[in-house]
A and B are shown apart, each in its own frame.
Chain A
Amino acid sequence: MPVSRYRALARPLPWPLIAADYAALYAARSDSRERLLARAPVRFLTNPSLHAVVMIRVALGGPAILMGMWRRILLAKHSIELEAGFELGPGVVMPHPFGLVLGSGAKVGANVVLYHNVTVGRPEGDERAPAVLGDRVTVYTNTIIRPGAVVGARATIGANSLVEGEVPPGSLLKRGGVVRRCERAEPPTGAEA
């Protein structure tokens, strides 16, 4: 099989997005570009967080007919429920890649950190807008983000929270926080605005 054939196989993959995810996951190490590239093959083979992210990228970027297959694989290996139509920005980090529910229609911005057991719901019926997460949002464990939620950029959502309404940019929602619909979260409490 000539090399050009391999290239044709690799072309549909969203390489820029996968590269952004890889860089975001290892951003804390501040590796040089050469070191990032040199270590990439081993890391992509060994790191489960990268496995999950790459499978999500391939599933979302690939043909719709394969979505069911990817969903089964993701469920079996990572317990991640992924629905078609979920919009995921570049540079997502999943420190513990399991138990996520990524519903269709939700929009997630760039450089988001999603911990385990996070649910991003899909709209039910016509009355609800999809959930929108801004850039650089961090969502901690066991949080449910329901449709209609709007999380501003650089916001942090603590563990065990329930978000239905609007969270202002740069704010910190404490653990167990609840933001109902048509109601704004508390003004930033101790967070860097």
Chain B
Amino acid sequence: MLTIRLALHSPGRLLFLWRTWTIAKFRMEIFPCEIGPGLHLPNPINIIIARGAKIGSDVTIYDGANIGFPRMERPGEWLSSPEIGDRVLIEPGCFVVGRIRVGSDVRLKLGAFVDRDVPNGSVVEASPD
């Protein structure tokens, strides 16, 4: 937690140090993004937060969550990243992919795959396919 805050507030040139450190210690990759206050990581492992993602306040992210895929498709262009509202609960193994907006008070249940907008206050189940 402290590592992430420090990483996000350090100059961009030091990103590689934080990236190496978070991979070695937490198996996490946090690219430059906006995270609101009150982020809670109960099991800080296997989490990926893509470049440019916007995360609101009091968000809980469990292990194995993928928030955006930060790989470039074309030169100089990053894959668009999602925007997540306040008080969202992201359970283990969730994928949040693409330029979408997840509203506030949302619960993404175990293994949910989200690639479209989610309205406020909804619960997303893992789809069977």
Contact = CB atoms under 8 A, between A and B. Distances in A.
Contacts of B75: 28-30
A48 B23 contact: yes
B48 interface: yes
A160 interface: yes
Given A47-B16, A96-B29, A99-B46, A174 B72 contact: no
Given A78-B24, A141-B95, 15 more contacts: A30-B75, A46-B17, A47-B16, A48-B19, A51-B20, A95-B69, A96-B23, A96-B48, A98-B46, A99-B27, A116-B48, A159-B95, A174-B129, A175-B95, A176-B129
Given A28-B73, A48-B19, A51-B20, A142 B64 contact: yes
B93 interface: yes
Nearest to A158: B113
Interface residues of B, number: 25
B115 to A, nearest CB: 10
Interface residues of A, number: 25
Interface of A: 28-30, 46-48, 51, 76-79, 95-99, 116-117, 141-142, 159-160, 174-176
B44 interface: no
B63 to A, nearest CB: 11
Interface in B20-36: 20, 23-24, 27, 29
B129 A28 contact: no
Contact of A28 (B20, B48, B69, B74): B74
A4 B71 CA distance: 40
Contacts of A96: 23, 29, 48
Contacts of A78: 23-24
B48 A77 contact: no
A159 B20 CA distance: 24
Nearest to A46: B16
B111 interface: yes
Contact of B27 (A30, A79, A95, A176): A79
Nearest to A117: B46
A29 B72 contact: yes
B76 interface: yes
